[in-house]
Amino acid sequence: MGDLNGADAQPGKTSAIIDELIASVTMTDVESIVREAAERYVVGDKASEARSHITVKGVADFVTDVDTSVQKFVKARLAMRYPRIQFLGEENGEQHVDFNGLYWVLDPIDGTTNLIHDFHHSAISLGLLSGDNTVKALIYQPWSDEMFTAEAGRGAFLNGEPIHVTGESDMSRALVNVGTSPYHHEQADRNFELMRRVFVDSADIRRTGSAALDLAYVACGRADAYFEGSIKLWDYAAGRLIVTEAGGKVGDWNGGGLGHAMETAVLAGTPAIYDLLRTRYLNS
């Protein structure tokens, strides 16, 4: 990022440059890049063959040609449009940035296992971070053509219309999305016991297979909360801003912020349900 990270950079000057770069990023521009990536590689004619080319990265951790094609395309377009902003993506080891600066965080396909099985519930998730904080965010579900967006201090939106968390405060009426942390089988006993306890006390639980969409659904009121024992930075980087701008709370299971943790437990929800889950279940 040139003079943003130089040894002689002046803090005030660097901050002003970062603010200027943030202001230069227009959401309509970024949305168009992500939509084009989805049309070309996720729902287009090439998608069926591309999703069948599967590489196993680890336990229950897969990558397809769709993931890598979307990342390559989005990275290239962002670099052309915003060359001074760093890039971090899930695939191809592109995870080395100066976390004190300004950087994109991309999950090219959140919900790859769903994609492989032609289960149309995945998303492209893109956040713009300044240090520990997400300042602009979008999550795009291409099959339903739903674009969730947020900018810090400006609210959260679904296809341009304002969204807000439900405001639910009664656990017995709450619908709670859960994640199984499938890459960590050693967490299974703890995770499923937590889910059992929450299931018994809530209206119901849901498992969607996409952390980004779980967060987006809390933001727009389709769920009252979401928790998972282990997700990655690219899973939550966009969704946390969308939830908070929609009036919800997001943090780790101890109530702390997420910062730019590469892997963390996450909890999101209406303010009341967030607090109930954290104190009664996740830390009991």
Burial class of residue 159 (count of CB atoms within 10 Å of its CB; 0-12, 13-18, 19+): exposed
Residue 90 marked in a binding site: yes
3 vs 104, 139, 210, CA distance in Å? 18, 31, 37
User: How many helices (H) and strands (E) are present in the chain, helices listed first?
Assistant: 10, 14
Annotated ligand binding at 252? The verdict is no
19 is in an annotated binding site: no
Tokens of 9: 């950079």
Contacts with 281 (C-beta within 8 Å, 6 or more apart), sequence order: 194, 197, 198
Q: Which residues are 129's β-sheet partners? A: 103, 134
Binding residues for Mg(2+): 90, 107, 109-110, 235
Binding residues: 90, 107, 109-110, 235
